[in-house]
Copies of this chain bind each other. A is one copy, B any other.
Amino acid sequence: MYNFNMHLDTNIHFGKGQIKKLGKDIIKYTDRLLLVYGGGSIKKNGIYDSVVAELKDNNIYFEELSGVDPNPRIESVVEGIKLCKENQLGGILAVGGGSSIDCSKVIAAGVKYDGDPWDLVLDRKKIVDAIPIFTVLTLSATGSEMNANAVISNMTTNQKLGTGMPGITLPKASVLDPEYTYTVPAKHTAAGTADIISHTFENYFTNVKGGYLQARFAEAILKTCFHYGPIACKEPDNYEARANLMWASSWAINGLLSGGSANNWSVHPMEHELSAYYDVTHGVGLAILTPHWMRYVLNDDTLDNFVDYGINVWGLDPSLDKYEIANKAIDLTQDFFCKDLNIPASLTEVGINDENFEVMAKHAANVKGGSIQGFVNLEAEDIVKIYQAAL
């Protein structure tokens, strides 16, 4: 277990009707906000009205930035910064999933930065200050509500990159009301669940030794997703399912699983290329690639990790041959994504062919300094092979 720092300084209000706790948190920092959201579904399901009522009850003035894309783009960031500066806004409230929240984080940092905000995506070290960020979560997926990370896309350069700075772009407060996810359609519930699972895998499959507690915590989140993901897809207003998935989303990627234990991530950089080139839903891309990545990296060195996974998460019989356990666990993972969550099983099914594999693989490797040095090191040619297996 290596040294790490952890500071989870987000005030979490979890549960039904918790929106009424938010105004008090915001007003400690500012009474002028930028309200950021996506395509407008929050106006149909009543969440927008609840949020606006809470802001008005606390005499908080706000401007709005709507239409943030599912893969949030740098253009939205630029627009948000302009609104904040023109209106002297002192904070940002994101209402949505990772897209709105991630966009808000880079807007918040951009308000305090004099150059081109894309600089902050290319080099997170340039983030040295930000106005405070608050969130109301409406999709269980990215965990952005309780971490400092943001992923922003630049469609003109075909880049989708992560940024964010602990302690600066971490939300000050987040409302996690599971009822706010009741209207999320099965398709997005499935993709969100796949995203949570993938975050967990990225931390769980590590070659760092000694993070036993972290591995067991990861298994807790995986079991929760495997148990409740299909229930939430079938019964959208099942509070227990929505609550467990929502809380799992936050803990999969806030440092609990990674601190002291995780490697660089593997599947995310490969998937980011799919989204950058084809604008595929992030969770769908992850679900398609993950089993193929698993089969590609399974070897004598990584076998025990997969055996732990098979026994502790899928309850496979420990007396079986180790490779049998590992392969069965990978098959079960693939079946879960395809059959239980109804996510397309191949890149072909989502309209992706092999024409950009070489350049995407090079991009993915270059973003990570020439190769993905994660659980198992992946050069560009390895990444091409994984893409091909996923066709």
Where the two chains meet, the residues of A that have a C-beta atom closer than 8 Å to any C-beta of B are 1-18, 21, 209-210, 212-213, 216-217, 219-221, 223-224, 227-228, 239-240, 243-244, 247-248, 251, 256, 259-260
If the complex has contacts A7-B10, A14-B260, A220-B217, are A1 and B240 also in contact, measured as CB distance less than 8 A? yes
CB closest chain-B residue, reference A6: B12
CB neighbours (8 Å) of A17 from chain B are: 3
The docked-state distance in angstroms from the alpha carbon of A169 to that of B17 is 27
The answer on a CB contact under 8 Å between A210 and B3 is no
The answer on a CB contact under 8 Å between B21 and A14 is no
CB neighbours (8 Å) of A14 from chain B are: 3-6, 259-260
Given A5-B14, A219-B220, A247-B260, 20 extra CB contacts under 8 A: A1-B239, A1-B244, A2-B15, A4-B14, A4-B15, A5-B11, A5-B13, A5-B21, A6-B14, A7-B9, A8-B9, A209-B240, A210-B240, A210-B244, A212-B228, A212-B240, A213-B221, A213-B244, A216-B224, A251-B256
Chain copies in complex = 2
CB neighbours (8 Å) of A18 from chain B are: 3
The docked-state distance in angstroms from the alpha carbon of A4 to that of B248 is 15
Which of A3, A10, A209, A239 is most buried by chain B, counting CB atoms within 10 A of its CB? A3
If the complex has contacts A14-B259, A14-B260, A260-B15, are A213 and B247 also in contact, measured as CB distance less than 8 A? yes
The answer on a CB contact under 8 Å between A244 and B212 is yes
CB neighbours (8 Å) of A247 from chain B are: 213, 260
> Can you list 26 A-B pairs with a CB-CB distance of less than 8 A?
A1-B15, A1-B240, A1-B243, A3-B15, A3-B17, A3-B18, A4-B14, A4-B15, A6-B12, A7-B9, A7-B12, A8-B8, A9-B9, A210-B239, A212-B224, A212-B240, A213-B220, A213-B247, A213-B248, A213-B251, A216-B220, A216-B223, A217-B220, A220-B220, A247-B260, A256-B256
The docked-state distance in angstroms from the alpha carbon of A216 to that of B9 is 24
A196 to chain B, nearest CB (A): 11
CB neighbours (8 Å) of A2 from chain B are: 15
A249 to chain B, nearest CB (A): 10
CB neighbours (8 Å) of A243 from chain B are: 1, 210, 260
CB closest chain-B residue, reference A217: B220
CB closest chain-B residue, reference A259: B14
CB neighbours (8 Å) of A10 from chain B are: 7
Which of A4, A216, A260 is most buried by chain B, counting CB atoms within 10 A of its CB? A216
CB closest chain-B residue, reference A254: B8
CB neighbours (8 Å) of A212 from chain B are: 224, 227-228, 240, 244
CB neighbours (8 Å) of A240 from chain B are: 1, 209-210, 212
The docked-state distance in angstroms from the alpha carbon of A109 to that of B7 is 23
The docked-state distance in angstroms from the alpha carbon of A8 to that of B11 is 8
A184 to chain B, nearest CB (A): 18
